[in-house]
A and B are shown apart, each in its own frame.
Chain A
Amino acid sequence: MRAPAIETLGLRTVRLVNHLGCIAIFVGETCACSVRPPLRIRRLVAAVFDAGVLSLAIVCLSGATVGAVLGLQGYTTLSRFGAEGSLGAVVGLSLIRELGPVLTALLVTGRAGSAMAAEIASMVTTEQLDGLRMMSVDPMDFVVGPKALAMVLVMPLLSALFIVFAVFGGYIVGVELLGVDGGTYLTSLEGSIDFSDDVAGSLVKALTFGALVGFIATYRGYTSEPTAAGVSAATTGTVVASSIAILLSDYVITALWGV
């Protein structure tokens, strides 16, 4: 009884190590083909459009909504201590340090990451990647590299946009609806934010999340089974794995960067 159990454990361990090795090779190749010539600028611009421009509406709308809720909740809590004047600082700090990059990454994963995985997986299913290989064109160079790089580039920009719209949403609720002084809101916001600590940390998070979502989406699509179920599994797997990776890495970066 014990031997098969040990055998199964060994087999699973070997498979896990093999899988991790494949991921490491994939990440290494993706990084290499993102920077080595020929740089496929047109493919990169198209990928930036798909991942970035098409995500603008959802990111801006969500940002404004989250900011409005933060303004409302923040005002209710702060008014208990008579500290309504700190509303700008509360809204700004929580957005820049935490909510901006994390929520943007989760939104972009759902909209662009899943679409990226589905597109590559459907290219596997319809033999388009094999077609490229037969033209001696490396699909890693032509498809994976530009898409992964695009995700790294757009994530900080979308995160910044999310924060701007959220601060605006908080301003509308706090100042226009609840009567906090506009000057006080902006002064407390400006005074509480430190560039090297808060803004740089936010940027590092957004870049990390962009890289994670880019790698996971392209890897899941590229290694999918060439079936309709394979496309579905790649899409679902991208959203689940990316969400977990974002939340875990958020904690790690926050702990390392210094709270």
Chain B
Amino acid sequence: MSEDGGQEFRVVLDGVDLTLGGRRVFRGLTCGFPCGQITVVLGGSGAGKSTILRLIAGLQRPDGGSVRVAGQDIAQISGRELFEVRYGIGMLFQGGALLDSMTIFENVSLPLYEHTDLSEAAIAQRVSERLEAVGLPGTESLYPRQLSGGMARRAGLARAIVRDPEIVLCDEPFSGLDPVNVRRIEALMVELNRRLGITLIVTSHHLASSLRMAGRLTFLVDGRAISGPSAKVMASQDRRVVEFLAAEQEGPMTPSAAESTAGGGGAP
């Protein structure tokens, strides 16, 4: 693991270059994610927030640079070795990525059946606890198609944390959730981080939640990262960060504001 200013990093991206479909997503991206902290990755649409998680998960290989997870450069290791590194990582995908031919119980319990020797009863109890933690008690026998998008994502989170991994990657966990469930998931993440010391890397557009739970922010802009403790990034004078944060805090533009911005004088 790398260290920087006394901070121990669980995940380090160093000089990462990546081009996807002819578009340069990252150019020399360098950033670290400290051990046992919650880091929220912010940035505009298409800035590469989901892609950074896919790089850390080894689902995407960089064109150049290194991606070190728990000391191993996962851009250089074989597919089999990658499976071993992933034992310690749980990931929540944007759409949940639940297997639609299996029930919620089968989905959430799959990592336990595959990689542990737990008894049936212990697995059932663990699954039930995790589903309750994400606010989905009693949904074990349902199929993913019977859940709403937000519920499927919460079931995906239950699956990601069912083995208590060292690192949890969450791609837009608050997207499409009602305020109560935003708070619930936020509290769950903070609890996982405090109780088990899990390193959480979260991409989000939800600024209020991000600021409440994140110890550290990584702001993606023009293929590079501005990262540091939340307060430091929030105080950044970088024009693009200031504009993004101001727009997020003001919320969506109202029709009257849009008209005045466009210089429209209202109805003739």
A residues whose Cβ falls under 8 Å from a Cβ of B? 46, 123, 126-128, 130-138
Contact = CB atoms under 8 A, between A and B. Distances in A.
Interface stretch (B85-93, B133-141, B231-239, B248-256): B85-93
Given A134-B89, A134-B90, A136-B84, A128 B115 contact: no
A131 B98 contact: yes
Contacts of A133: 57, 59, 83, 86
Interface residues on B, range: 20 to 34
Given A131-B91, A136-B84, 12 more contacts: A127-B93, A127-B97, A128-B97, A128-B100, A130-B57, A130-B93, A131-B93, A134-B59, A134-B91, A136-B87, A136-B111, A137-B111
B177 interface: no
Contact of B59 (A126, A130, A137): A130
A128 B59 contact: no
A137 B159 CA distance: 13
B95 interface: yes
B99 A128 contact: yes
B83 A138 contact: yes
Contacts of A135: 86, 110-111, 114-115, 159
A130 B114 contact: no
Interface string B62-104: 0000000000000000000001101101110111011111000
Contacts of B111: 135-137
Contact of B95 (A127, A132, A137, A138): A127
Interface of B: 57, 59, 83-84, 86-87, 89-91, 93-95, 97-101, 110-111, 114-115, 156, 159-160
Main secondary structure of the interface of B (DSSP, over half): mixed
A134 B84 CA distance: 10
B160 to A, nearest CB: 8
A49 to B, nearest CB: 12
A131 B59 CA distance: 10
B86 A128 contact: no
Nearest to A50: B101
A25 to B, nearest CB: 11
Nearest to B89: A134
Which among A132, A134, A136 has the highest number of chain B CB atoms within 10 Å? A134
A137 B114 contact: yes
Nearest to B160: A134
